[in-house]
């Protein structure tokens, strides 16, 4: 196969940042995806509908600074806190621009200090309202208990948080974001009720050895952290299975080069530049290129209850060398697998 045309995909998990950073990265996503779920972990976090709509307007303004981009729609989210009210959820839903609410356990990752400290103790009114509106809860599924090994935090989360949450709110739509383990994938595959998961390109392409190959490689550090090979294989199996419960979410998370290559480097991989090329590589290696469209373009809108896109995206078999860095305001950004080559390239008309 030398060319592949699919329904235009969407990115169901994306960090766009704000200000100069937003202007630097937004076009990369708009060139590949028709829509993206925009993460709310700004500083301060996006906790109200008013803030989400203002952020949306800044994204639109940043898009207008680039010429010739295809149409792109940002799907906004709210950041759940211990103090999120049921009224705020209803307002968000009624705005028609906020599509989900994100749960960050307090301290789990970048800008998560305002996150939830006790989900079933403090957030029941908000969760009830979400369940009533049919708006998904997007879950960063890692416990933050420092006694739990960093590689086990997702599996322990399933037991300690995900199962009790879904027993208490069986009709709540839940997206288990960026799953990284066999435990996460099997839970989502087998659980009852409305649940799905996003999977990133880095967790499909790499295991944890990639972080340490030839020395510490900070550009392979993200959260949840890459896991061992058996987990990577389980994720590839889930993504390429054809199950509508698994769909694309890059978790593209830009951080300036200097903050990645640092004594305490930030978590996040930049993949917006070459997301579809990375996913096509995974699906081709698994012998399942015919299933890429379901994962990238169909399962996501179906789960969210949104229409599928009607335009298309074409990938061509062509050697593409990932640039060493790209501009990022006053700084630069190192894309995942910089300097390496891929055998697919998105065709930009």
Catalytic residues, which ones?
251
Burial class of residue 122 (count of CB atoms within 10 Å of its CB; 0-12, 13-18, 19+): middle
Size of site (CB under 6 A) for ligand DOR: 10
Q: Which stretch binds Zn ion (CB under 5 A): 25-33, 217-225, 251-259, 341-349?
A: 251-259
Residue 267 binding partner per list Zn ion, ligand DOR, none, with a CB distance cut-off of 5 to 8 Å that depends on partner kind: ligand DOR
Q: Which stretch binds Zn ion (CB under 5 A): 27-35, 186-194, 245-253, 329-337?
A: 245-253
By CB under 6 A, name the one of 4, 11, 13, 15 that touches ligand DOR.
15
Q: How far is the CB of 250 from Zn ion (least distance, A)?
A: 9
Residue 110 binding partner per list ligand DOR, Zn ion, none, with a CB distance cut-off of 5 to 8 Å that depends on partner kind: ligand DOR
- Separation of alpha carbons 135 and 145, rounded Å: 28
Closer to Zn ion at the Cβ: 79 or 344?
A: 79
Q: How far is the CB of 140 from ligand DOR (least distance, A)?
A: 6
By CB under 5 A, name the one of 251, 277, 284, 293 that touches Zn ion.
251
By CB under 6 A, name the one of 29, 32, 41, 131 that touches ligand DOR.
41
Name, in order, each residue with C-beta under 8 angstroms of 264's C-beta and a sequence gap of 6 or more.
Answer: none
Q: Which two tokens stand for residue 120?
A: 């079933």
The reply to whether 47 sits near ligand DOR by the rule CB under 6 A is no
Closest CA to 237 of 310, 185, 289: 185
Closest CA to 45 of 106, 124, 86, 127: 106
Closer to ligand DOR at the Cβ: 15 or 93?
A: 15
Closer to ligand DOR at the Cβ: 219 or 274?
A: 219
Q: How many Cβ atoms from other residues are within 10 Å of residue 302's Cβ? A: 14
Q: How far is the CB of 68 from ligand DOR (least distance, A)?
A: 28
The reply to whether 73 sits near ligand DOR by the rule CB under 6 A is no
Site for ligand DOR in 203-232 (CB under 6 A): 222-223
The edge-to-edge listing of strands for the beta sheet with 174-176 is 11-14, 35-38, 73-79, 98-103, 137-139, 174-176, 195-199, 246-248
Closer to Zn ion at the Cβ: 168 or 259?
A: 259
Closer to ligand DOR at the Cβ: 41 or 81?
A: 41
Closer to ligand DOR at the Cβ: 314 or 332?
A: 332
By CB under 6 A, name the one of 249, 268, 294, 300 that touches ligand DOR.
268
Cα separation of the two ends of the chain: 20
Site for ligand DOR in 108-147 (CB under 6 A): 109-110, 140
- Separation of alpha carbons 148 and 143, rounded Å: 8
Q: How far is the CB of 327 from ligand DOR (least distance, A)?
A: 19
Residue 301 binding partner per list ligand DOR, Zn ion, none, with a CB distance cut-off of 5 to 8 Å that depends on partner kind: none
Q: Give the binding site for Zn ion (CB under 5 A).
A: 251
Q: Give the binding site for ligand DOR (CB under 6 A).
A: 15, 41, 109-110, 140, 222-223, 253, 267-268
């Amino acid at each position: 196969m030398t060319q592949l045309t699919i329904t235009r995909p969407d990115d169901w998990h994306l960090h766009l940042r704000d200000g100069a950073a937003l202007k630097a990265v937004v076009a990369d996503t708009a060139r590949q995806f028709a829509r993206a779920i925009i993460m709310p972990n700004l500083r301060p976090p996006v906790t109200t509908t008013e803030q989400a709509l203002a952020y949306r307007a800044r994204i639109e303004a940043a898009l207008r600074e680039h010429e010739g981009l295809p149409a792109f729609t940002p799907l906004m989210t709210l950041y759940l806190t211990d103090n999120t009210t049921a009224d705020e959820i209803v307002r968000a839903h009624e705005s028609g621009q906020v599509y989900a609410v994100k749960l960050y356990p307090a301290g789990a990752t970048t800008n998560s200090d305002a996150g939830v400290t006790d989900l079933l103790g403090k957030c029941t009114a908000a969760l009830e309202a979400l369940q009533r509106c049919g708006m998904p809860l997007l879950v960063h599924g890692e416990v933050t208990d420092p006694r739990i090994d960093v590689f086990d935090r997702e599996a322990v989360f399933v037991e300690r948080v995900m199962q009790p949450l879904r027993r208490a709110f069986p009709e709540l739509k839940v997206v288990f974001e960026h799953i990284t383990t066999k435990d996460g994938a099997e839970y989502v595959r087998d659980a009852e009720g409305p649940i799905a998961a996003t999977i990133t390109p880095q967790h499909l392409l790499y295991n944890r050895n990639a972080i340490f190959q030839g020395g510490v490689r900070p550009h392979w550090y993200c959260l949840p952290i890459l896991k061992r090979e058996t987990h990577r294989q389980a994720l590839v199996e889930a993504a390429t299975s054809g199950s509508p419960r698994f769909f694309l979410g890059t978790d593209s998370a830009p951080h300036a080069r200097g903050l990645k290559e640092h004594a305490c480097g930030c978590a996040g991989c930049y993949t917006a530049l070459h997301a579809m090329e990375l996913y096509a590589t995974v699906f081709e290696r698994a012998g399942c290129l015919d299933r890429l469209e379901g994962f990238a373009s169909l399962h996501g809108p179906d789960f969210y209850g949104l229409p599928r896109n009607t335009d298309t995206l074409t990938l061509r078999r062509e050697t593409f060398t990932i640039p060493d860095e790209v501009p990022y305001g006053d700084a630069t950004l190192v894309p995942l697998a910089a300097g390496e080559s891929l055998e697919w390239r998105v065709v930009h008309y």
